[in-house]
Chains A and B, each alone.
Chain A
Amino acid sequence: MKTKKVKENLSHKRTKAKGTAVSYHLKCAKTSNGLTHFVMYGDVPKKKMPL
């Protein structure tokens, strides 16, 4: 990528937060058929479709 990059090591100098930053990570708990991820085809549950 031709974006300006600044590599930050783990020893990055800390600064006080300002504004609302967003960061999160989600784990898929279950799917209708028990697959570890969502499916497009063949994933039509008996009652309701999750994705």
Chain B
Amino acid sequence: MANNTRGLSFSDVDSDWKLALDPENVFWGVIPKDNGRFVLPDNLIDFYKKERKHLDSELFNFRFHEPLNCVYIDPTDRCNANCLYCYIPSRIRKHGTQMTTEELDTTLKKIEEYFKRVKKKPVIVFHAAEPLLVKDIIFGAIKKYHKKFLFGIQTNALLLEKEDTDFIRKYRIGIGISLDADMKEINNRSRITTLGKGNYEKAVKALNWFKGYEGLNVICTVTKYNVDRLSMLVKFLHKKKVPLVLLNPVRLTQERAVRLKPDDMAYSRNLIAAVDTAIELSKKTKRQIVIGNMANVVLAIISPTARRMMCDISPCGGGRTFLTITANGDMVPCGEFIGFKEFSGGNIFKTSIEKAMNSMPFKKIRNRIVEKIDECNTCDFRHICGSPCPAEMYARGNLYGKAKFCEFYKEIIRHAFKLIAEDKVKYILREDAIKQLEYEYKL
């Protein structure tokens, strides 16, 4: 976008650091303050002049030319849980369909066809509702296709058995366990099973089975019920040798989730405390636990194209770098759109992934960019948070509304700059990940 006044924007990180940032391409510098004053280094301006065009094109390409690389498959619409905030409407979870072995095979063949000219292996994630309800079918598919795809499974662990962990380890499957709190009564308040209990015991049992497995991660959905337990959860998971945890905001796609939204400031305060806990534990024990949300924000600043979580970028990754295929074959930009038939890009059993990617609903989501969102279009952090989530905003009545967790993101991003300034990135990203990053420039 042409902007004659474009340049570096200055704001406070905290009382010690000043931030210089070009919001258009995320060129940044953090500058120490002395009695509230700061001096802009010459070489920062030199770098800015030199790198501006390159950073412009890098971010543009990442936003608009990054190819599809991940497909979420919901092999069943049904679930053995009734989590308070689930984004899948309850009628679908109760009465939805399930893929047969043949249907899943057809789906994977079509995905294989789409990626046949791509060297990199695409990622297939078996996801919500509860994929292990059709465990035999998905394990059979993994056996057949493990050389073609990289696989992941997201599960509440209710149906996970010890022998399954051997299979998962053998095929190097990424496994995400849903757990909201270190305390049973808090976890089971939101992660409720259809029998009225909770998944705490099974989830913890699964963590014990997987202890030390590199492909393990935990997803915690943050609500007003567990927001003040995030640090305790990090401690608990570190003891269980969980290498990665996501402390994700509850998505307000369904009306019933709105009532569970944590206060933005309470969420940011507790997430920052959880990050501090993770840093302390990593230093003390020489074994890391990474908080994926903070890692992603830090990456969005220091290496935007290395970030993985595609919610925090504009446009989001839905219908762009990933899509979801539901149990009846509908292709939607993201699982959050399962309840909205108008966002189907076609059915995998009747059409192709290519056609879905070019469909109007998918384009509609790709067209939701921060430049078109009031407030976001003038926010310095617009290309770091990305103003998620389109499904959530569509459900709340305005696709082009700004992020529901706007104030949370601002706090977290400011803290990310502080962590970078204080040279704590090494504790935020996985050690091996840092080794894979190369400096393009450094002040």
Contact = CB atoms under 8 A, between A and B. Distances in A.
A48 to B, nearest CB: 7
Interface stretch (B8-16, B194-202, B357-365): B8-16
B388 interface: no
B39 A44 contact: no
A51 B48 CA distance: 30
Interface residues of B, number: 85
B249 interface: no
Contact of B432 (A12, A36, A41, A49): A49
B429 A51 contact: yes
Contacts of A40: 152, 174, 176, 217, 244, 246, 292, 308-309
B87 interface: no
A30 to B, nearest CB: 6
Given A29-B436, A45-B172, A4 B11 contact: yes
B136 interface: no
Contacts of B326: none
Nearest to A5: B9
Contact of B305 (A3, A7, A33, A37): A37
B96 interface: no
A33 B442 contact: no
A44 to B, nearest CB: 4
A36 B66 contact: yes
Nearest to B171: A44
Given A18-B39, A33-B120, A26 B437 contact: yes
B430 A51 contact: yes
Contacts of A1: 11, 378-381, 410
